[in-house]
Amino acid sequence: MNVCPVCNGLKQLDVHCSECSSQMEEKGRYMDYFDDYSPYMPIDQMKLEDGIPNDYKNHQCPHLYRCPSCGNDQIVLIKE
């Protein structure tokens, strides 16, 4: 069984904004932002529908990171 270390609070990533180099904030799984019911759908099913190639096959969990300084969003793939 593969688990995401960020989703499960086992790890925090130090991600810097590609626009302004500020520290970015982790905002949760990318696919949780699709619609009101996304957070309640099976994770593997949502990976098949999120538009990110091979995240399901490669056991990666896409997380949204947002820069508090400039508002830039970035998707970071976390190895499960």
Based on the structure, what is the number of domains in the chain? 1
Query: Residue 23 and residue 48: Cα distance in Å, rounded?
Result: 30
What's the mean pLDDT when you consider all of the chain? 93
CB 29 within 8 A of CB 61: yes
What is the domain extent for residue 13? 1-80
Query: Residue 47 and residue 24: Cα distance in Å, rounded?
Result: 23
Q: pTM score > 0.75 for this model?
A: yes
At 7-43, the pLDDT tens digits run 999 999 999 999 999 999 999 999 999 988 888 888 8
